[in-house]
Amino acid sequence: MPAYEESVPAHLWPLAGDGRVAARRLTAHLPSGAYLAASDEPKAWQTLAEVGAVIRDPRFGEVRREGEPWEDGFLEPRRAYVDGADHAGWEPRVEVATRFDSAVQDHLVRAAERALVVASHGMAMTVWLTARIGLPAPGDFWAALRLPDALAVDLVSRTATPILRDLG
């Protein structure tokens, strides 16, 4: 979980103390020697930082959006977005999927034979997976994500399989 603060933009939130504890539990289950890449948002790269050097890439960042509710009611527009609804001031899904896929392809090349581990954000990843492998129910997939969560993504078989849940 990030350290929420209304006066600080969400893309600058660091992990909270309990988020760091959950991240340590998650990273203990990641492949040894993996190539680590993450969004340049602190809450993402800090999730992997204790494992080793993390390459920060803004293309793994969360969906850029304006006009989102701060407290109550923020989940509904997010779920509607990943399910295909357009919201004024929100980054178009095709742009999210394109930038995310570009980052994945670049880092797969850099990772060479090592496993690629990416720390990102729920909406951006869901949009990318929907475009890339065809998630049948993106809103349900997004709603089932946990903080933190880990998925094994196979681009050849077009699958995203949860490997860890409820570590927090």
How is domain 10-164 classified at the CATH fold level? Rossmann fold (3.40.50)
User: Lowest-confidence range among 13-22, 36-45, 88-97, 115-124?
Assistant: 13-22
- Of the candidates 120, 99, 150, the one whose C-alpha atom is nearest the C-alpha of residue 46 is 120
Work out the average pLDDT over 37-60.
94
Cα→Cα distances 102→22, 57, 93, 95, 137, Å: 29, 11, 14, 11, 23
Least confident of 38-42, 71-75, 110-114: 71-75
DSSP helix/strand/coil, 119: strand
- Give the rounded percent of residues in the chain with a pLDDT score beyond 70: 95
Q: Indicate the pLDDT class of residue 68, thresholds 50, 70 and 90.
A: confident
pLDDT at residue 103 tops 70: yes
Report the pLDDT value the prediction gives residue 15, as an integer from 0 to 100.
86
DSSP single-letter state for residue 63: P
Note whether 44 and 120 are within 8 A (CB).
yes
pTM confidence score: 0.91
- Euclidean distance between CA atoms 82 and 118, whole angstroms: 19
**Residues comprising the chain, all counted:** 168
Q: What stretch of H or E contains 116?
A: strand 116-119
pLDDT number for residue 168: 43
**Other CB atoms within 10 A of residue 92 CB:** 12
Nearest to 102 by CA among 157, 153, 41, 58: 58
